[in-house]
Amino acid sequence: MERIVKSISPSVFRLSPRSSGWQLVRPDGRAETYDTVEQVSQAIPKGSSIHLALPTGVLLLDRMQLPSSDPVELAAMAELQLEKALPYPIQEVKSSISVIEAGETSSVLAIAVRLSHLDELCAPLLAKGAIVEKTTPLVSFIAASCSPQEQTLCIYRESGDIVSAISSGGKLSWAHCTPAAEAERFPLDLPRLLLTAELQGASAKLTRIHLDPDCRQWKETLESQLHAPVESRSLDDIVWASSVDLTPDSWLQRVARRVRSARMKQVLLLAGASYLALFALSFSYVGWLKLKASRLDAEYAAIRPQIEALQARQTRWNAMAPAVEPDRATDELLYQLCRNLPPAALHLTEFDQSPTQWKVVGEADSADLAVAYLGKLKGEKELSDFSISASPPTLLPNGGAQFSIFGKR
């Protein structure tokens, strides 16, 4: 889910508790401090994406020794153990595990938060339409920012409360929140707290102590009590990287809907851009066709006089063809028509010729003679350029027949 979210929301607000109030880091890196989450909700745009760091005071932490090294089995067993320890149903919490040491028997820290506490804490943000994309304990970021080769004790303030946490090789091993009302006694209570950590399975053999600048008044006391070097470490130096995610499923579904909506918007924008590109291409093509047509019109206008001259020459040639071409000459046609006449039983009465066709009308003693004459003309080699046809002969009162024969090129 986180990978998908990052693909659509590269600019995320980071919200984390500080010694007094809340720190909001904007996507451009500007940090602002507010007294309440309500004030934060008023300072961000509607629908903003937020990565929330949870205060330790709302967390439920349980150190466990489990007989497995498989991550899936560890998660199932940790949830079962957590269900036994909780005073309310497991369905009312969101939990995650941090594997400190893996082996035949793995050391695991179960981290949980009650959903009602999350809803109450983030109510102003959700009312503003903000999307909480990831929810991680601030103490997990602090532990992950410590050296992976050292056993580090981190001490800092969260809204007045004092948080002490042990990082084992860069992983959160144990944490405790001392209420602000008991802050003055914290240096005296710290040895007892570390003994409690050891009883829960966390090593208290410290190699380094990270002390928030707001707690610098305890530096000398801590050095004398714990015999470890004390370094000043601001919360602004932590790295926001942790595998622990306590975002409720309902919030993740909201993020998923936002992902789908963003993807649909991208698809629609792409479809719109494709439509506009196609429209622009079609418009360009129509313009090109018009330009080509105008060029053809110009070319035609330029050669039109030549075309008209050729057409006129062709017309004159067709008109003169019967007189110029031997096979279309009138006397040649009459010769072929008369050469194929039978004896006196058939004679021609009318002859008409045009540049592309001719017509002959005649009378025969019988219709059979007229049909026979038509057959001889069709078989005449010299008349093969013509398509010769005839209408049915018309019988005359004297028993003869009148015929009309046509020839077309």
376-387 burial: b if 16+ Cβ within 10 Å, else e: ebbeeeebeebe
CATH number for the domain that contains residue 360: 3.30.1360.100
Q: Which residue type, as a one-letter code, is found at position 117?
A: H
- Domain assignment present for residue 346? The answer is yes
Quick one: 97 and 241 in the same domain?
A: yes
- Domain assignment present for residue 275? The answer is no
Q: Cα–Cα distance between 100 and 113 in angstroms, integer?
A: 20
- Domain assignment present for residue 297? The answer is no
- Domain assignment present for residue 55? The answer is yes
Cβ-contact 211, 222 below 8 angstroms? yes
Quick one: 238 and 346 in the same domain?
A: no
Quick one: 219 and 357 in the same domain?
A: no
Neighbours of 392 (CB within 10 A): 11
Residue 83 is part of which domain span?
2-247
Q: Cα–Cα distance between 134 and 249 in angstroms, integer?
A: 11
Q: Which residue type, as a one-letter code, is found at position 357?
A: Q
* Residue 249 burial class via C-beta count within 10 angstroms: exposed 0-12, middle 13-18, buried 19 and up: exposed
DSSP 99-153: EEE-SSSEEEEEEEEEHHHHHHHHHHHHHTT-EEEEEEEHHHHHHHTS-TTSEEE
Domain final residue, candidates 247, 276, 309: 247
Quick one: 21 and 157 in the same domain?
A: yes
Domain final residue, candidates 215, 247, 279: 247
Mean pLDDT by 10 residues, the chain (409 residues): 40 89 91 92 89 92 86 86 86 88 86 91 89 91 90 91 92 92 88 90 89 90 89 86 86 76 83 88 89 88 86 75 63 82 82 84 86 86 85 86 88
Quick one: 358 and 229 in the same domain?
A: no
pLDDT, position 327: 57
Quick one: 81 and 222 in the same domain?
A: yes
pLDDT, position 55: 93
Quick one: 94 and 225 in the same domain?
A: yes
- Domain assignment present for residue 20? The answer is yes
Quick one: 238 and 349 in the same domain?
A: no
Quick one: 111 and 201 in the same domain?
A: yes
- Number of independent structural domains in the chain: 2
Residues β-bridged to residue 328: none
pLDDT, position 124: 92
pLDDT, position 2: 38
pLDDT, position 71: 82
Cβ-contact 63, 49 below 8 angstroms? no
- Domain assignment present for residue 87? The answer is yes
Quick one: 24 and 121 in the same domain?
A: yes
- Domain assignment present for residue 33? The answer is yes
- Domain assignment present for residue 279? The answer is no
Whose CA is closest to 242, among 73, 51, 60? 51
pLDDT, position 56: 92
Quick one: 190 and 336 in the same domain?
A: no
pLDDT, position 321: 62
Domain final residue, candidates 213, 247, 281: 247
Q: Cα–Cα distance between 228 and 97 in angstroms, integer?
A: 29
pLDDT, position 52: 93
Q: Cα–Cα distance between 363 and 389 in angstroms, integer?
A: 16
Quick one: 217 and 76 in the same domain?
A: yes
